[in-house]
Structure 1
Amino acid sequence: MKIKFYAPQWGNTLPFDTFCKNVKLAGYDGVEMALPFDKKKKGVILEALARHGLELIGQYWQSFERDIDVHAANYEKYLRNLIAAKPVFINCQTGKDYFSFEQNKRLFDLAASLARESGIRIIHETHRGKSLYAAHVTHHYLTRIPDLRITLDISHWCNVHESLLEDQAAEIALAFMHTDHIHSRVGHPEGPQVNDPRAPEWSEALEKHLQWWDQIVAAHAATQSPLTVTTEFGPATYMPLLPYSQMPVANQWDINVHMMNLLKARYH
């Protein structure tokens, strides 16, 4: 089974073509990112990805509107914009934590309809503030909507539940069964991102995340189903800053490349 690795465009400050060159040289298979609506700007991005032989995972995160009708209309608009680019698949931070089950299900159903219409797979990310913000809440959705497929960013749940999820074995086991894509950020009980997973003080949190990812990899290997990983350690202010100087405490790019190489060595 081949695992493909993607770089997050989130945090990039370089010209996009330079970024793509660096992504390819580092050994990634592609980029995960949102796309602009402007056709010219979108075309420049897609041309750069193609020129460097990089795949695209479409990313949706723009879940802001409180009114569900407005929210659903914008959700569809963003998804259709991503679909038109023919990405490998689309990863969505779907819904809101304060929406009801029925309201969030309306969005899941809309995504499923667009996926059937387009042939582009659409999956949904476990993310704070969104529909799948907590382990037990996600368990409820997966039980009620058994064909729901997810991007597992379990770092958010560590933060939400202020733990390494020792008491949520059943909830995370079900989530693993529904996972198609991983965001390999390492969280901890007081935050969604350790400052540097290479530091020895984070060895327990890193090892716990590796054990979780091991189970997902084993499940996909058993069925020979594809698995993808985005190394999504984020920039400031996800990356903690030093006081007064506001300098990041570590280098986002270096950490993400380290995580890719660590996982490639572990699973290949």
Structure 2
Amino acid sequence: MNIRFYAPEWGNVLPFDTFCQNVKAAGYHGVEMALPFEQKEKDQILEALAKHGLELIGQYWQSFEKDIDEHAANYEKYLRNLIAAKPVFINCQTGKDYFSFEKNKRLFDLAAALSIESGIRIIHETHRGKSLYAANVTYDYLTRLPDLRITLDISHWCNVHESLLADLPDEVALAITHTDHVHSRVGHPEGPQVNDPRAPEWDETLETHLKWWDVVVAEHQKKGTELTVTTEFGPATYMPVMPYTRMPLADQWEINVHMMNLLKKRYATV
């Protein structure tokens, strides 16, 4: 099977062309990111990606509006903007945790219709504050909407449930069977991101995440389908910081490259 790795644009402070050069040199296949609406700016981004031979995963995260009609209208606007760039697929932080099933389903149905219309796959991320914010809630959605495909960012669930999910095996197992894409961030019971997954105090937590990802890989291997991974450790202050100075405790770029190389080595024979 094939596993392709993507860098998050989130946290980048370099000129975009320089960032792309670094992404390519590190061994990534592409970048996951949102896109601006301004055409010239968007064209410059797409030209830089093409120049460096990098693929694009479109990213939607702007789920803010409380009114469902306004929310759905903006959801479609953002998705159509991403669709126009012809990404590999679109990863959506769809809906709100306080929306009813029917309201979130309206957004899932809209994404499915846009996907059929455009031929661009649209999947939905397990993310705090969004529709798939918890393992048990996602289980209900996946049971009732069996065609739903997801980005598994299980770090959020560790935080939401304040655990490493040992008491939610059925919920995790079902989510894995619906997973097309992984965000390989390591969460823990008190937060969505450990300060540095290379530190020995996080060995057990890291190993728990690796075992989840092993099952995702095995699922794709069994089906003969491609798996994509974005190494999405975030910048300060998502990354823990020092008090007063607000300096990050570790280097975001180094950690993400480390996670890519760790997973490439782990799955080299898959």
- For the aligned pair, the TM-score class normalised by the smaller chain equals over 0.9
Match of 1:120 in 2: 120
Match of 1:28 in 2: 28
Match of 2:233 in 1: 233
Aligned equivalents of 1:245, 1:187: Cα separation in 2: 24
Aligned equivalents of 2:155, 2:246: Cα separation in 1: 24
1:221 aligns to 2:221 (yes or no): yes
Q: String of CA shifts for 1:63-114, please: whole Å, max 9, x gaps.
A: 0000000000000000000000000000000000000000000000000000
Residue type matched to 2:171 in 1? E
Match of 1:131 in 2: 131
Q: Which runs of 4+ in 1 moved over 6 A?
A: none
Correspondences of 1:100-119 after superposition (within 5 Å):
100-119=100-119
Aligned equivalents of 2:137, 2:238: Cα separation in 1: 24
Deviation (angstroms), 1:2 = 1.2
Q: Answer yes or no: is the 8 Å Cα contact 2:20–2:52 preserved in 1.
A: yes
Secondary structure in 1 aligned to 2:91? Answer: strand
Q: Answer yes or no: is the 8 Å Cα contact 2:86–2:120 preserved in 1.
A: yes
Q: String of CA shifts for 1:146-194, please: whole Å, max 9, x gaps.
A: 0000000000000000000000000000000000000000000000000
Match of 1:243 in 2: 243
Secondary structure in 1 aligned to 2:181? Answer: strand
Match of 1:191 in 2: 191
Aligned equivalents of 2:220, 2:60: Cα separation in 1: 25
Aligned equivalents of 1:122, 1:243: Cα separation in 2: 39
Question: TM-score normalized by structure 1?
Answer: 1.00
Aligned equivalents of 2:58, 2:178: Cα separation in 1: 19
Deviation (angstroms), 1:206 = 0.1
Identical positions, percent: 80
Deviation (angstroms), 1:215 = 0.2
Secondary structure in 2 aligned to 1:188? Answer: coil
Secondary structure in 2 aligned to 1:166? Answer: coil
Q: String of CA shifts for 1:107-163, please: whole Å, max 9, x gaps.
A: 000000000000000000000000000000000000000000000000000000000
Deviation (angstroms), 1:263 = 0.1
How many pairs are equivalent? 268
1:40 aligns to 2:40 (yes or no): yes
Deviation (angstroms), 1:245 = 1.1
Match of 1:81 in 2: 81
Aligned equivalents of 1:63, 1:242: Cα separation in 2: 30
Aligned equivalents of 1:236, 1:107: Cα separation in 2: 31
Match of 1:63 in 2: 63
Aligned equivalents of 2:89, 2:208: Cα separation in 1: 28
Question: TM-score normalized by structure 2?
Answer: 0.99
Residue type matched to 1:83 in 2? I
Aligned equivalents of 2:143, 2:243: Cα separation in 1: 44
Match of 1:10 in 2: 10
Residue type matched to 1:62 in 2? Q
Q: Answer yes or no: is the 8 Å Cα contact 2:2–2:225 preserved in 1.
A: no
1:145 aligns to 2:145 (yes or no): yes
Structure 2 unaligned runs (5+)?
A: none
Match of 2:166 in 1: 166
Residue type matched to 2:81 in 1? N
Aligned equivalents of 1:243, 1:26: Cα separation in 2: 31
Deviation (angstroms), 1:197 = 0.0
